Each structure stands twice: as structure tokens, then as C-alpha cells.
């Protein structure tokens, strides 16, 4: 049971990081984050790739909810998107919490 609680905590931590990253990008640039990787320079390419990696669950869920409301996509589409975003959030949460533990200790 403790493994399930830890997985839920890490998934929530990953989704929070995802939301913060996506919202901060929108605050700075004025446009929502998309899965576009800029290849104008290598620095922009690396930054946009890192942004997409950490904000991926936020982008997926925003697009899935918008697709359900506006385009009337089936409920299964929303469930599948939620599952993908949840697993991605879990992986991001593991990375972020591990990084924070390394930095703190």
C-alpha cells in the first residue's frame, strides 16, 4: 500500500511541476506551450525540448479537455489522454524528486 501512495505522490508532484512549467511559459511569452521544438539555434532547441519534457502532461491534458469540450471527442479519448499524462507525470515526478533529494543531501 505504501508503494501506491508513493506513486500517487510522485505523480502529483510531476503534474504540479508540469503545470508550473506550462503556466510560467505562458506568463512569459503570452502564448500557450505546444509540442513545437524550435531548431533556430541549438540553445533554443535544447530549451524547448526540456520544456516539452517537463510540461508534457500539462499540454496533453489541456488539449484533451479542450478537445472534449469543443470538438466533442469521445470520453475514451479523454481517459486515454489522462492515462498517458498520469504515467508521464509519474516519470517526471520521479526525476524531479530524485533531483531535489540529491541537491538537498
- Note the pLDDT tens digit of each residue in 40-83: 888 888 988 999 999 999 999 999 999 999 998 999 999 999 99
Domain boundaries, the chain: 2-104
| Residue 101 CA: distances (Å) to CA of 4, 21, 54 | 20, 20, 18
Distance CA 5, CA 92 (A): 16
How many Cβ atoms from other residues are within 10 Å of residue 20's Cβ? 13
φ, ψ of residue 19 in degrees (nearest 5):
-65, -40
Distance CA 3, CA 98 (A): 16
* Position 25 confidence tier, pLDDT thresholds 50, 70, 90: very high
Quote the pTM value.
0.86
Does residue 87 surpass a pLDDT of 80? yes
pLDDT tens, 4-23? 999 999 999 999 999 999 99
Residue 40 has a pLDDT of: 82
Amino acid at each position: 500500500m505504501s508503494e501506491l501512495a508513493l506513486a500517487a505522490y510522485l505523480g502529483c508532484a510531476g503534474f504540479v511541476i508540469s503545470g508550473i512549467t506550462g503556466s510560467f511559459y505562458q506568463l512569459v511569452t503570452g502564448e500557450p506551450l505546444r509540442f513545437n521544438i524550435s531548431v533556430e539555434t541549438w540553445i533554443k532547441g535544447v530549451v524547448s525540448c526540456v520544456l516539452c519534457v517537463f510540461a508534457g502532461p500539462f499540454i496533453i491534458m489541456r488539449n484533451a479537455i479542450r478537445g472534449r469540450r469543443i470538438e466533442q471527442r469521445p470520453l475514451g479519448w479523454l481517459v486515454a489522454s489522462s492515462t498517458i499524462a498520469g504515467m508521464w507525470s509519474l516519470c517526471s515526478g520521479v526525476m524531479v524528486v530524485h533531483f531535489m533529494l540529491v541537491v538537498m543531501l
